[in-house]
Structure 1
């Protein structure tokens, strides 16, 4: 029996966005481990924060140490990991925040689930398209080497597939751009979203 009671709160998303003078949205960075997702996401957050925007970044460090601590890396656990992240990101959107999320999110089905939960209008997909060989060279933790030895199971790019996004809002090829250039490409991409409403 479901005894959930939904309360009718008087402060709405629109009210929060008007107070913050910004739209709530999710910037979803996807790509292989070592592609540069988190580095670029961090640079984007710094640019937005110092421009006066209210932001928060979700990544494996703050998610898997807390809300998703009990999940492993099977296909089922990965899907549940992303579902929970999407639900948290949706709350940030409702709070009028710019939520920045950097996760491998390897399959089209996973990313569709995330997009469906957050909502198409609030979801901006950024594909950090870095070749596998470059990701392996950047791998300071040695995860790819362990995966190739079979020490890490279900590792995306080695023993588990990564499905490239078909229609991302932005593609960043990091072999042709440095971190600053990549971050600027993102802020240029979302400029129209940031100015889509009049909060005066």
Structure 2
């Protein structure tokens, strides 16, 4: 089938988009346990970027499962496909010149590596949102840890399924002690130093 397909190149280059938007596209891939603060940080950073005149968009794991990934469950294969699709969308948004912030547990190193390869290493920043399982469970805003402890949710990351801590993330944030606003500011400053042309 692929032999009948042709890749069409557009007339607008990445350099033109970067000049127009005054930013280099990048994906910040926020990974961490459920209730570590990924979504809160992602949306705080998006708001901060937009206030500074930068074009960004959040791809939140829960939101994507309401629409694009509504046909997927939580088996290992489905979780991998969830990450693959999200990475493909992030790649397309980066091609459009946007800064993308994803918020997905993405517990396996191999799946995060797949996302890096889809998006492109030069546009991928792995951000480890570091909060211990005990702290995340004490927060539990959705009541998921309680359900997992009761056996109502199988294969729950941090309880009955593993979470592989990133070996060498580009950025690590301490969401146990640092407030969301401070974390967003730190990430913004990191971006400003590398992805906003002078």
Which of the five TM-score ranges fits, normalised by the shorter chain? over 0.9
5+ residue gaps, structure 1, are none
Is 1:150 the equivalent of 2:151? yes
The alpha-carbon deviation at position 20 of structure 1 amounts to 1.1
The alpha-carbon deviation at position 153 of structure 1 amounts to 1.0
**Aligned pair count?**
197
Q: Please name the residue that 1:44 is paired with.
A: 45
The alpha-carbon deviation at position 61 of structure 1 amounts to 3.3
Please give the TM-score of this superposition, normalised by the length of structure 2. 0.95
Residues 10-89 of structure 1: pairs in structure 2 closer than 5 A? 10-89=11-90
Q: Please name the residue that 2:113 is paired with.
A: 112
Task: Find the aligned partners of 1:93 and 1:8 in 2 and give their Cα distance.
Answer: 16
Per-residue CA deviation, residues 14-63 of structure 1 (Å, 9 max, x unaligned), is 22122111111101110000000110111111111100000111012331
Task: Find the aligned partners of 1:124 and 1:76 in 2 and give their Cα distance.
Answer: 24
3-state SS, counterpart of residue 42 of structure 2: helix
3-state SS, counterpart of residue 126 of structure 1: strand
Per-residue CA deviation, residues 2-21 of structure 1 (Å, 9 max, x unaligned), is 32222222112222122111
Q: Quick check: 1:56–1:99 contact (8 Å CA) kept in 2?
A: yes
Q: Please name the residue that 2:97 is paired with.
A: 96
Please give the TM-score of this superposition, normalised by the length of structure 1. 0.94
Task: Find the aligned partners of 1:119 and 1:80 in 2 and give their Cα distance.
Answer: 18
Per-residue CA deviation, residues 73-114 of structure 1 (Å, 9 max, x unaligned), is 000100011001000000011000001101001010011000
Q: Quick check: 1:17–1:95 contact (8 Å CA) kept in 2?
A: no
Task: Find the aligned partners of 2:9 and 2:189 in 1 and give their Cα distance.
Answer: 37
Per-residue CA deviation, residues 110-166 of structure 1 (Å, 9 max, x unaligned), is 110001111111011110100111111111221001111111011100111000001
5+ residue gaps, structure 2, are none
Q: Quick check: 1:23–1:194 contact (8 Å CA) kept in 2?
A: yes
